[in-house]
Amino acid sequence: MFVFTNGFFMHVKSFINYLLIEKKYSVHTLTAYKKDLDDFIKFCSNEYDVDSIIDVNYSQIRSWIVYLVNSNISNRSINRKISSLKTFYKFLQKTKQIEINPLSKHKALKTSKRIQVPFSKNEISLVLNSPEELNFEYVRNKLIVELFYSTGIRRSELINIKINDIDLNNGVVKVLGKRNKERYIPLINTVQNSIKKYIEFRNEINSSESSFFITKKGKKIYDTLVYRIINNYFSTVSSKEKKSPHILRHSFATHLLNEGADLNSIKELLGHSSLVSTQVYTHNSLGKLKEVYNQAHPRSVKKHDL
């Protein structure tokens, strides 16, 4: 999977194997880490006379940061690259290959917070209530939209659902999340009905694939296809800049919160390891919170009081 051309890269190879075997990171994440480290090593090889990445000091790392800034790379992307490097040096510390992490006191570059606007209930309703077509691709695609919105699962989680993960008797789906953590998510009745309809069409396709979602050729669906399905559907009803599976996940959490679901329950459904990740959705619900507050608080000035 990963090719290392000479001994200079052996430390990186050990690090990638550590992330793969012990941390169980995805191939996508491993590829991103390796690219960041390869870019850094290439810079050091061109700019400095160093025999090993272990010998690099913070001033040399800082010059790489300056180089990245001058290359018009966003602060957010630079911070991600530095995070990869910092994690790498932590690994070298853990394996006693270095004593001091040269990035231990580094502070991330300032970034502006990206506001991810969820789809409105009306936009989702327009998609889900669009005229039906009785063919495999339409039934599959519509179910994908329903499943994203009714469960809040990640794109990778949806793609990796197996046939045996669907339990209609108990009305749940088993999802394999980050770090290979399993969780069970309830399936509402309308989604269960859509699943039954999809299974009928799926059974007509000659496929030995164990994955639940497949293409019309019987192969496992893939990232770009899922993104394209969501983008195509919502491009017809929404003018929002970003129309992706993650925005549907975002919408799921925001709408649940607006309807009174508690944060801990949403955290479990989303598969977050801590509430910190889930709390981002409280910002989108602030308007709803103000509305409830103004209607409920005895000292609030209401329209009918004027």
User: Residues 232-241: pLDDT tens digits?
Assistant: 999 999 988 8
Residue 105 lies in a domain: no
Residues 221 and 132 grouped into a single domain: yes
- 10 pLDDT band, cuts 50/70/90, is confident
* 42: containing domain: 7-94
Residues 76 and 137 grouped into a single domain: no
Query: Residue 251 is part of a domain; what is its CATH number?
Result: 1.10.443.10
Strand ranges, E, within the chain: 166-167, 172-176, 182-186
Which residues on adjacent β-strands are paired with residue 162? 211
- 1 pLDDT band, cuts 50/70/90, is very low
Catalytic residues: 154, 178, 246, 249, 272, 281
Residue 257 confidence (pLDDT):
86
- 291 pLDDT band, cuts 50/70/90, is low
Q: Give the pLDDT confidence of 83-100 residue by residue, as tens digits.
A: 999 999 999 999 988 888
Q: Which residue has the tokens 């496929």?
A: 207
Q: How many domains does the chain have?
A: 2
The answer to whether the beta carbons of residues 173 and 212 sit under 8 Å apart is: no
Task: Look at residues 94, 110, 134 and tell me which one is the last residue of a structural domain.
Answer: 94
The mean per-residue pLDDT over the stretch 177-204 comes to 93
Range 269-275 contact pairs with CB under 8 angstroms and sequence separation of 24 or more: 269/151, 269/152, 269/183, 269/185, 270/152, 271/153, 271/154, 271/157, 271/175, 271/177, 271/178, 271/181, 271/183, 273/178
Residues 241 and 176 grouped into a single domain: yes
Residue 258 identity (one-letter amino acid): N
Tell me the HSE value of 88 on the side-chain side, using a 13 A CA sphere.
28
Residue 4 has pLDDT above 50, yes or no: no
Residue 294 confidence (pLDDT):
61
d(CA 114, CA 36) in angstroms, rounded, equals: 22
Give the residue among 119, 125, 126 at the shortest CA–CA distance from 254: 119
Confidence (pTM)? 0.63
Residue 297 has pLDDT above 60, yes or no: no
d(CA 161, CA 178) in angstroms, rounded, equals: 14
Strand ranges, E, within 76-231: 166-167, 172-176, 182-186
Q: Which residue has the tokens 């992490």?
A: 101
d(CA 288, CA 121) in angstroms, rounded, equals: 14
Considering the chain, what is the average pLDDT of its residues?
85
Q: What percent of the chain has pLDDT over 70?
A: 86
Residue 305 has pLDDT above 50, yes or no: no
Mean pLDDT check: name the lowest of 38-47, 62-71, 126-135, 210-219. Answer: 38-47
Residue 68 has pLDDT above 80, yes or no: yes
Residues 72 and 151 grouped into a single domain: no
Residues 84 and 168 grouped into a single domain: no
Residue 302 confidence (pLDDT):
54
Residues 127 and 51 grouped into a single domain: no
DSSP 8-state secondary structure symbol assigned to residue 270: H
Provide the 3-class DSSP secondary structure of residue 132: coil
